[in-house]
Structure 1
Amino acid sequence: MTTGVTPPERLGSTRLSNGRRLGWAEWGPESGTPILMCSGSATSRWLGLPVDTIRRLGIRLIAVDRPGLGMSSAAADWTLGDWTRDISEFAEARELLEMAAIGYSIGAPFALACAEVPAVTGVSLVSGTDELAHPALAPALEPEVALLVKRVAASASDTERLIATSADADVLWDVVVGTSHGADQRVYADPAFNRSYRRALAEGFSQGPAGYARETVLAMSRWPFDPSTISIPVDLWYGDQDANPFHSPDLGATLARRIPAAHRFVVPNMGGAFLWTHTDRILRSLLHRIAVHR
């Protein structure tokens, strides 16, 4: 299959008031509707969405490297709250008065945290990592996930160091591909997607494994915000064959009940990578719900 993923059309970085930089990439018309892309584990700004869909819908897709990944400055002990403040300043600096956010896999809590950014008008989570440390999910967690959540709760710093000693771009690629559903395998086999994903991972680890380790610990921790206070539209998308234990043990059912304006979609016969095969449907839903909510 062909995903239509291409290299970024524009690359740059934005300096924040504290001196750090956020690296970013863009696709689509500069005058288009801005959508922030919060990508999966350790993937830098180099992985986007099918460019023909982006252009057809008039979207300006903006992928931003999280701290310590790609071109974004590392930040010791950064938090989801720090990420929210970074994106708020980023939006102001780049004059993004209104934008939406998409969170894929581990990018989900980072996208959802952006609901507190004044410029963000809607969020879509696709195959998203849930609040795995929430007590309501504890009985449903796979043993390896439950163990990691317990380790983070006991000592986040020790767990972070442990993760950093065992991860690199090749290891993560092998894990992602090797544990994926057949539908996902067809996405990963697309040469253009393969090149973009592998480059995104290589850049994600270009500063070493610390950025990946930090974001993993944050994803395994309690969220510093209450989803029940989110008032903007939130779409939750899951494939019914998604077997990734770090996404959501109940395909977002519990999370949907915690967010007042959430709509949950479960796509049949799909694994976790359907963001790149169902892009049009996902983006149209997000844009429609934002328009209705106004």
Structure 2
Amino acid sequence: MTPTDNAPAIRPAERCNRLIRPGNRKLSWAEWGPADGRPVLFFTGAGMGASLGFGIEHLDGLGLRLIVPDRPGLGHSDPDPEKSLASLSEDMAAVLDELEAERIPAVGFSQGAVFAFAFAMTGRVSRLAIVSGQDDLGRGEFAEILPQEVRSMVETAASDPEGFTAFLEGFADAEGLYDLVLGMSSDVDRELYSTDPVGPAYRAALADGFTQGPAGYVRDTLLALRPWPFNVAEMPVPVTLWYGEKDTSPVHAPDFGLSLSRRLPDVRRIVDPERGSAILWLRAGEILADLLD
């Protein structure tokens, strides 16, 4: 981080909640911010449990209550053998019902973008922020700019989901994912993700996400890499795309959201030339405030 960057506030969840879904399946989420604040739903990145929020230092001032669910099979949420983008959206709708909220703003980070987009398509989101978000990587415009390894993963996820699942479950774990993220990151991101206060909290969130083993993460990754079963051109809410020009991850939008911005009907695209994927923590106050406009 540069000397002008303030270190993000990191602290344990202030409240933990759960509800029971059909089949006696437990769905859990963590919360930060005032209990009577306006709820904001946060879709975490790949493999992350709900123990790491963002923008904690801004929630009181903005009057926001950050809601961070564990997707099924991650953290403290029971696995869902039928997990799909549709079933995940039904789970999130149940959380909103529990909060007695009809529509709330939402944030999707990294791999969480696809789950945030899918839920926004249901009409239960009032405004959406996508931060360092993954795009639909199987689209033709990305064929020549994706690294061969990523392109092969996308093709296998589409053509052989069972083989993809078995392959990834054979070696995926929290430490391996942490090393992979750091290895794909630029220097500016690597510094944040490997040092206090974010680094240890990020590693702990991955360990939390893999508490039940790799299956939850693997299923999420399969869903994220397969062709999206919805058309973002029909997105019913305003979307702000946030990217850092120093984001070198090959599994985020390889064009920093340019293709997404051309497909979405109501969109703003912000590209920060000084930051990478960690823009989520370094411009958290602006990201959250923008959701209130």
TM-score by shorter chain over 0.5: yes
C-alpha contact (below 8 Å) 2:40/2:66 kept by paired residues: yes
Does residue 96 (structure 1) correspond to residue 101 (structure 2)? The answer is yes
C-alpha contact (below 8 Å) 2:55/2:285 kept by paired residues: no
1:29-68 matches, within 5 Å, as: 29-68=34-73
Instruction: Give the Cα–Cα distance (whole angstroms) in 1 for the partners of residues 148 and 194 of structure 2.
Output: 30
Query: How many residue pairs get matched?
Result: 288
Query: How much does 1:189 deviate?
Result: 3.8
Instruction: Give the Cα–Cα distance (whole angstroms) in 2 for the partners of residues 167 and 220 of structure 1.
Output: 16
C-alpha contact (below 8 Å) 1:240/1:269 kept by paired residues: yes
Partner amino acid for 2:170?
Answer: T
Q: Which range moved further: 188-197 or 136-145?
A: 188-197
> Corresponding residue for 1:76?
81
Instruction: Give the Cα–Cα distance (whole angstroms) in 2 for the partners of residues 41 and 272 of structure 1.
Output: 13
Does residue 169 (structure 1) correspond to residue 171 (structure 2)? The answer is no
Query: How much does 1:48 deviate?
Result: 0.4
Instruction: Give the Cα–Cα distance (whole angstroms) in 2 for the partners of residues 283 and 38 of structure 1.
Output: 14
TM-score by length of 1: 0.94
Instruction: Give the Cα–Cα distance (whole angstroms) in 1 for the partners of residues 214 and 144 of structure 2.
Output: 30
Partner amino acid for 1:198?
Answer: R
> Tell me, what secondary structure is at the counterpart of 2:40?
strand
Partner amino acid for 1:69?
Answer: L
Q: Which range moved further: 176-185 or 260-269?
A: 176-185
Unaligned 5+ runs, structure 1: 289-294
Give CA-to-partner distance per residue, 1:11-50, whole Å, 9 cap, x none: 1211124422211000001111211111111001001013
Instruction: Give the Cα–Cα distance (whole angstroms) in 2 for the partners of residues 198 and 241 of structure 1.
Output: 22
> Tell me, what secondary structure is at the counterpart of 1:42?
coil
> Tell me, what secondary structure is at the counterpart of 2:54?
coil
Query: How much does 1:97 deviate?
Result: 2.7
Query: How much does 1:190 deviate?
Result: 4.0
Query: How much does 1:8 deviate?
Result: 0.6
Q: CA-atom RMSD, angstroms?
A: 1.4
Of all paired residues, the percent bearing the same amino acid is: 38
Instruction: Give the Cα–Cα distance (whole angstroms) in 1 for the partners of residues 290 and 225 of structure 2.
Output: 29
> Corresponding residue for 1:184?
189
Instruction: Give the Cα–Cα distance (whole angstroms) in 1 for the partners of residues 149 and 274 of structure 2.
Output: 25
Equivalent residue for 1:271, pick from 271, 276, 284: 276
> Tell me, what secondary structure is at the counterpart of 2:211?
coil
> Tell me, what secondary structure is at the counterpart of 1:117?
coil
1:215-234 matches, within 5 Å, as: 215-234=220-239
> Tell me, what secondary structure is at the counterpart of 2:143?
helix
> Tell me, what secondary structure is at the counterpart of 2:129?
strand
> Tell me, what secondary structure is at the counterpart of 1:44?
coil
> Corresponding residue for 1:147?
152
> Tell me, what secondary structure is at the counterpart of 1:123?
strand
Query: How much does 1:196 deviate?
Result: 2.0
C-alpha contact (below 8 Å) 1:87/1:117 kept by paired residues: no
TM-score by length of 2: 0.94
